[in-house]
Amino acid sequence: MVYHSSFVDEEGMTKACGCPLLPLKSHIKGPAPASDQDRTDIVDEAITFFRANVFFRNFDIKSSADKLLIYLTLYINVALKRLEGCRTLAEGTKAIINLGLEKVPVPGEPGFPFPGLFPLPQSQKEAELLRNYLKQIREETSGRLLSVAYRPNGTPNKWWLAFAKRKFMNVIVP
Using one digit for the tens of pLDDT, what is the confidence trace for 53-102?
Answer: 888 777 788 888 888 998 999 899 889 999 988 899 999 999 998 888 88
Mean pLDDT, residues 17-27 taken together: 88
Model pLDDT, residue 120:
93
Q: Please report whether residue 56 resides in a domain.
A: yes
In the chain, what percentage of residues exceed pLDDT 90? 33
Model pLDDT, residue 173:
57
What is the spatial distance between Cα 135 and Cα 129, in angstroms, rounded to a whole number?
10
Sequence-separated (6 or more) residues with CB below 8 Å from residue 21: 13, 14, 15, 31, 32, 33, 129, 133
Please say whether the dihedral angle defined by the alpha carbons of residues 38, 49, 98 and 158, taken in this order, is positive or negative.
positive
Number of domains in the chain: 1
Does residue 159 or residue 10 have the better pLDDT? Answer: 159
What is the spatial distance between Cα 156 and Cα 86, in angstroms, rounded to a whole number?
8
Q: Which domain holds residue 47?
A: 15-165
Model pLDDT, residue 38:
86
Confidence of residue 135 (pLDDT cuts 50, 70, 90): very high
Q: Please report whether residue 5 resides in a domain.
A: no
Model pLDDT, residue 55:
80
Backbone angles phi, psi at 173, to 5 degrees: -105, 135
Confidence of residue 146 (pLDDT cuts 50, 70, 90): very high
Paired with 34 in beta bridges are: 24
CATH of the domain at 135: 1.10.1760.10
